[in-house]
Amino acid sequence: MTTTTTTTAYTARPITPGALAELRVTDDAGRPTTPFTDEEGGAPLRCCLRRSTPGERIALVSYAPLRRRSAAAGTDPGAYDEQGPVFVHADPCPGPDGGALPFTNAHRTVRRYSADGRILGGRLVEDPTPEAFTRAFREAFDDPAVAFVHVRAVEYGCYLYEVASEATRG
């Protein structure tokens, strides 16, 4: 008898290299990007999904994740189109190291979206552990209408990263 099991991995997706190249020149609000040296460190970088270290050159830019995703997919985010501030490296970086889910050390919102970029709901994750986030992602992706989720900061609503579900059968 053959047994098939399904395992699911949740992958945090940084801002794409193409979008980063554009954002490092002009942000999604149309403003020129102004890099600066981060003297203190600790800024949540959306290009490599880690916190900045003192002395790194970074930039704070406006980013519209649904607008960019919708443009690539040929859909219209409608009223859900929003832009907000994100930190990125001022120059190209190697991206995430592929490790654990980032920025899970505080309360976060896991916001669910359909393939056309419409909000389908959300969940506050109050337990700042990777296991709690994994449960929230599993709950979100149990709904077949959910195509992706955004993890956002509670305090300011800032976009942190997108999560995709990658189910595999073994």
Is residue 73 within 8 Å of 118, Cβ to Cβ? no
Q: Assess if residue 7 is contained within a domain.
A: no
Q: Assess if residue 119 is contained within a domain.
A: yes
Q: Assess if residue 23 is contained within a domain.
A: yes
Measured in degrees and rounded to the nearest 5, phi and psi for residue 103 equal 55, 40
Reading the block at residue 165, the tokens are 């579900």
| pLDDT (0 to 100) of residue 8 | 62
Q: Assess if residue 22 is contained within a domain.
A: yes
| pLDDT (0 to 100) of residue 4 | 37
The beta strands (E) that lie in 23-144 are given as 36-37, 44-45, 50-51, 57-63, 84-89, 108-113, 119-125
Q: Give the Cα separation of 53 and 161 in Å (integer).
A: 19
pTM over 0.95: no
**Which residue range forms the structural domain that includes residue 75?**
12-89
Q: What is the pLDDT along the chain (170 residues), one digit of tens a residue?
A: 444 334 468 889 999 999 999 999 999 999 999 999 999 999 999 999 999 999 999 999 999 999 999 888 888 888 888 899 999 999 999 999 877 789 988 899 999 999 988 999 999 999 988 889 999 999 999 999 999 999 999 988 889 999 987 753 33
